[in-house]
Structures are given as structure tokens and as C-alpha cells.
Amino acid sequence: MTEKGPIGLFDSGLGGLTVVRALIDLVPSESLIYFGDTGRFPYGPKPPGEVREYAQQIGDLLVERDVRAVVVACNSAAAAALSDLQIRLPVPVIGVIEPGVKAALAATKTGRVGVIGTEGTIASHAYTKTAAALSPKVEIFAQSCPGFVEFVEAGDVDSPELYQLAQEHLAPIKAANVDVLVLGCTHYPLLASTLSSVMGPQVAVISSAQATARAISAIELRSGSNSAPTHHFITSGDPNTFHALATRFLGSEINDVEEHSWS
Ligand code: DGL
């Protein structure tokens, strides 16, 4: 392990790129390695034990690549495996849930906060428990949104079909009169304009991806290396599809994508 190694991040697919984007904007001097487990996507509907096993494999792989820290850039993996990875890996491990909750608590005026995420994240009650520990008065209204991540992985972030599904999933959260909505899945910031237009201008939309990037930049992980930063991408799915969508979602050209096969 080297003090000057890159920061490693992972997600089930493309969603964690929202954390990568926010991190590059905040700390452009950092080198990053991103692993998108597209070949085993999605994590949300899978049992927590299976997601934990995948998270351990990717954590070990990133440590073999000499990362200085691991960012679990996936709420479903953080809900299932964060504390496990923090014990297992010999580097700091940072999740997306606590930074998102803290940003929501800072933003809410009414104490009524909506959280949307995958089935796994919502079933884990990770947001409700974290919020209760930090601020017992805040009420969390949580809703799983099956289907959203598949739209993102297909490159569709604003079709009428997506808008229709968003109206259905967000109806209970709207009815609860929340003043903040936490995007408790790293894929969802890519749908932010659709989700925001369904919720209306009176609801502040908080991205757990941006809140996490701010938390990482605040804890002085900077390598202090003088060499130009590198951004390396690995996928367990099709590298060409990953390259095309990652370029679009990151808004910048990325180098070749490494293909990883789980044997
Ligand atoms: N991006 C992942 C998250 O934050 C979820 C996608 C999936 O279901 O695999 O939860």
C-alpha cells in the first residue's frame, strides 16, 4: 500500500460515476480508480449477503491496486457491507449514507425528509436508523423505486416512460409533504431534473453523491503527489457500453476501460 495511491470507488454499475464527477470537481488533483460491477448489476433487489460478498471481492481488488481509501459509491452496497468492509480492509472506507443524511438534516426546515433508494437500501432502514441517531426529531419517509436504475443503465434519463414511473414512485413521498428529498441511490442524480420536476420547486433535492464527495474532500485524503492525476475505469460488463455511457454521464472523455471477469 502506498501513501500516494489513488482513491478507489465502486458501484454496481454506472451510478457511482456521480460520486466520481463530484470528486473530480472538488479535488481535481486526486487520482481515482473506479470499478463498475455492471456484469452483476443490479445490487438493489439482491439479498444483503450476496451484495456483501460482491463488495468484499471488489474491496480486495481495489486494495490490490494500492488504493489509499475505498469509497463505497453505492447505497445498496453501503447498506449491506459498509461496517464489514471497514473491519476487513486495511485502508479507510467511506460510505454514501451518512453524508447524505447530514446534508438532509442541514437542509430541512420542517423535519420531514423523503428518501428514495433501491429495495435493498430501503429494506435495510439504513437511512432511518442513521437519521434517528443524529437527530431524533426528524421524520423519514422512505420509498423504494424499482426500475429507476435500469433506465439509467440503458442511458435513458428523461423519457415520458421514466417521468410516468417517477410520478408513481414519488406519489407517497409528495403526499407526506416533505421539504427535502434525498437521492439515496448513486444512480438517481442522473435523473435529478426529472425527479425534481415531479416533486416541485418547494422540495430541495439532495444528492448523496455530492454530499459524499464533500465529506471525502474534507478529510484530507489528498496524496500530495506532484504527478498529473489519472482516472482509471474497470467494468465487469461490456467495456464498450461502459465507455460510451461513462463518457456521456461524466461529461468528459475517458481512457480505455479495463474489462474484469469474475472467474
Ligand atoms: N447505485 C446503486 C445504489 O446507490 C444501486 C443500483 C443497483 O440496484 O445496483 O444503491
Domains in the chain and their CATH numbers? 7-95+212-259 (3.40.50.1860), 97-208 (3.40.50.1860)
Question: What span, in angstroms and rounded, lies between the C-alpha atoms of 245 and 248?
Answer: 5
By mean pLDDT, which of 92-101, 193-202, 223-232, 251-260 is the weakest?
A: 223-232
Predicted confidence band at 1 (pLDDT cuts at 50, 70, 90)?
A: very low
Q: Is the pLDDT of residue 187 over 70?
A: yes
By annotation, the residues acting in catalysis are: 74, 185
Q: From the CA of 150, how far away is ligand 1's center (Å)?
A: 10
Half-sphere exposure in the Cβ direction for 85 (13 Å, CA): 32
| Pocket-testing residue among 149, 153, 190, 191, ligand 1, by greatest number of atoms within 8 A of Cβ | 149
Q: From the CA of 225, how far away is ligand 1's center (Å)?
A: 32
Q: From the CA of 123, how far away is ligand 1's center (Å)?
A: 13
Q: N- to C-terminal Cα distance for the chain? A: 25
Contact predicate 170/143, CB 8 Å:
yes
75-88 and 97-107 are packed helices; what angle lies between their axes, rounded to 10 degrees? Answer: 120
**Segment 34-77, tens digit of pLDDT:** 999 999 999 999 999 999 999 999 999 999 999 999 999 999 99
The pTM of the full predicted model, rounded to 2 decimals, is: 0.94
Contact predicate 73/98, CB 8 Å:
no
Q: Report which of residues 229 and 74 the model is more confident about.
A: 74
Supply the residue whose CA is at minimum distance from atom 8 of ligand 1. Answer: 44
